[in-house]
Chain A
Amino acid sequence: MARPEWKAALLASAIGALTLAAQAEEHYGIGRAATPEEIAGWNIDIGRDGSNLPSGSGSVERGRVVFSEQCATCHGADGQGGLGDRLAGGQGTLASLKPIRTVGSYWPYASTLFDYIRRAMPQNAPQSLSNEDVYAVSAYILNLNGVVPADAVLDAKTLAAIRMPNRDGFVTDPRPDVHNH
């Protein structure tokens, strides 16, 4: 992600100019103020640093129960996959000819796991799990991958502290990288 200093400076000045240009445009007085309550209800994004994680907690043990009830039909009892993505295993395979991309082998941030389960899972009833159960299912899936121990209890602090195995596996777009000869 690191950029050369001059590039960052150039980018900053370009954004500054664009921002000024945007601000020079007329205001139309369209729309109304969003209230803090409205924003709080919709703003469920979790930062990669764990920012905006809600209160509450969940254990691997509780997660095993919720997973079997809500997730196993599509993802398999042990996260081996089925109709839904495989969730566990695959560490050490990414450079092989048969890479297995799972939460444990591929996902760079545990916070994304919480975020995604809460906003989109289970597929037939998204946003139906309590925050406690989202913590618990996250803990269970991370335990299936050996990222947290079987007695782990996740909350905002402990989840934010997790370092995923593939945390440093991503690089920025170098294209155009292929040239027609």
Chain B
Amino acid sequence: MCVDLIKLTIDGMEIEASPGTTVLNAAEALGIHIPRLCYDPSLSSVGACRICVVEIDGMRNLPASCVTTVTPGMVVRTDTPAVIEARKTILELLIANHPLDCMTCEKAGDCKLQEYCYQYGVTKGAFTGEEHHYGLEENNPFIVRDLNKCIVCGKCIRACAEITGKDILDFAYRGFNTKVTPFGNTSYIESDCVFCGNCVSVCPTGALTEKQMSGKGRRWELKKVRTTCPFCGTGCNFDLNVMDDKVVGVTSTNGPINGRALCVKGRFGWDYVHSPKRLTRPLIKKNGRFEEATWGEAFDLIATRFKEIKDKHGPGSFAALSSARCTNEENYLVQKFSRVVMGTNNVDHCART
């Protein structure tokens, strides 16, 4: 299929883009990063926050680049004084009603509002007025909601509807009192929320954070290790966030299957890893009770008993159950062990349950 590309100029650079491309995405292809708060590539664009405004020749106002599509010959500038002034004003308005408690905020270092205020040198004080004093919502095991930090970008609403399909969130009330809430102005735990946390992963501020990560380390200190989820067979990817040899949380990465979406188990179900109930040493049963042993003792006993039983009753008296939860490498070794060392094809796993 042959599609005519559209030629335009952004900050003096020429680019060709396919029809329907937004100015924001065309700029991104040129390596120009336009700030964004309500825009997310995996969600519909609503042009609500206006932080992505640009100047376009022939247009009277500053259009939002996330909802403006490219047209032939368009001349775009992303960093004119008017653009910068508009962005600063938007930020000043946003933080006029925002608790600037970045020193204790869980999202510090990973907060778009903080990042842009830093970038544009915006401090509190340009506008004064009423401020919200919502109570902290932490009556569920997974997510902390601080609506005082909500900038009403609506990404959580769109994530819930467009990604998860639960569609439990919407804006309620009008004007300054506008807030995001489940139906009936309730909390997440009282709603049909399933705690996938996809709202948390798209939230640009500290309004939605992972409860487990609270107080465990600043975002920039956490080592991120990309891995694959240990639960169902979907194969979602995520980042384990590590501090002092402990997993402290899971955050989204760009997985080939899941993008940044996860479910409650993938995002919040990792805490068993550090459970005090974990097995830490080999155990050998003596007189009906388990006693701690060394690896050497355990291996000696296993080798002796497996050999005795194989010698006495033949290879067919042994069977192994491998695991649908272990790695390919480990499954390969268990069946190899059964077939080579024990000499039997008696190997299976719970593929059928």
Q: Do A and B come from one complex?
A: no
Binding site for B on A (CB under 8 A): none
Binding site for A on B (CB under 8 A): none
